[in-house]
Amino acid sequence: MALKGNLRDFTITQLLNLINMAQKSGLLVIEGPGETAKITFRQGKLAYAQLGQDDGSLASILHTTRKISQSQYQLLRQRTSQMSDKELGLLLINAGYLSQDDILSSLQVHFTEIVRRLFTWVEGFFKFEQDIYPPDGKITVRVDLENLIIEGSRQLREWEQLQEEIPSLDMAMKFTERPGTNLRSVNLSVEEWRVVSYVSPKNSIRMIARAAKMNDLEIRRVIYSLLQAGLVELVRAEGTPVAQPGRQFPTQNKDEQKSLVNKLIGRIRSL
């Protein structure tokens, strides 16, 4: 039977675990929020990964993992665009530019980084196709999945906890008025500062995440630390309706309302 489903029911970590245990070979395609990931496995080990619009070429991977500079990258792209990754790899090794280890570890870092990104996807369709591999010219690696699985379950737990703490991204934040909390005296990370600059009842957390280019997990992490530090509190975002359209009291008269509450007090006391 084809292995397919939704991440909501079967998480990335569970998928990796299955692939690892059953020593599966083939292509896992995941259509996540806004982008698609393609991950190849060989006998239960990570072999290759490509995410979204990235061209996945060796040259660009070496560039993002800082094995080559921007100008070297430009040069390679002009001069070697017709070459396969394997050919380019050989060329770089023979020219004494990089070692085989440099190239393989670069690819490993890049591929595992893609898998790590998937841990933050909670929605998305996945499909596993047996015995499909990347094109011949691509260089593949062999990375054990165990560590990724452990990391993934840790993140999943963190994710669940953060969701409990911050159940809705439609809420906004405001600075607490608690005395003694001074923004200038706390050490915030760059990311935290970025979020802090958007704190206002006008901005929902979702809007802030978009503006600060953070995914759900990242924004929740930052907000959690701001909450923990007592710097901000969650409030209803301006413009969203208060869930209180129902009338509280059967009467609009303030004195009657008060007498009603007093009656309730009397009744409860007598219980």
Partner 1 sequence: MQTVKMVVTGPFNAGKTAFIRSVSEIDVVATERKISSEAEKVKETTTVAMDFGRITVDDDLVLYLFGTPGQKRFDFMWEILSEGMLGFIVMVDSTRPETFREARGILQTFRAYAPTPYVVAANKQDMPDAWDLEDMRVALRLDPKVKFMPCVAQKRDSVKTVLLELLYSILAEMEEGQS
Interface residues with partner 1 (CB under 8 A)? 161, 163-168, 171, 178, 227-228, 230, 233-236, 242-251, 254, 257-258, 260-269, 271
- Pick between residue 100 and residue 262 the one whose CB is nearest to partner 1: 262
- Pick between residue 135 and residue 241 the one whose CB is nearest to partner 1: 241
Least Cβ distance, residue 266 to partner 1 (angstroms): 8
Find, among 24, 33, 30, the residue nearest to 12 by Cα: 30
Least Cβ distance, residue 158 to partner 1 (angstroms): 11
Least Cβ distance, residue 23 to partner 1 (angstroms): 28
Kindly calculate the radius of gyration of the chain based on its CA atoms and give it in whole angstroms.
Answer: 26
- Pick between residue 77 and residue 236 the one whose CB is nearest to partner 1: 236
The pair of structure tokens assigned to 218 is 């990242």
Least Cβ distance, residue 202 to partner 1 (angstroms): 14
Least Cβ distance, residue 267 to partner 1 (angstroms): 4
- Pick between residue 96 and residue 180 the one whose CB is nearest to partner 1: 180
Question: Parallel, antiparallel, or unpaired: how do β-strands 232-235 and 172-175 relate?
Answer: antiparallel
Least Cβ distance, residue 174 to partner 1 (angstroms): 10
- Pick between residue 82 and residue 248 the one whose CB is nearest to partner 1: 248
- Pick between residue 239 and residue 245 the one whose CB is nearest to partner 1: 245
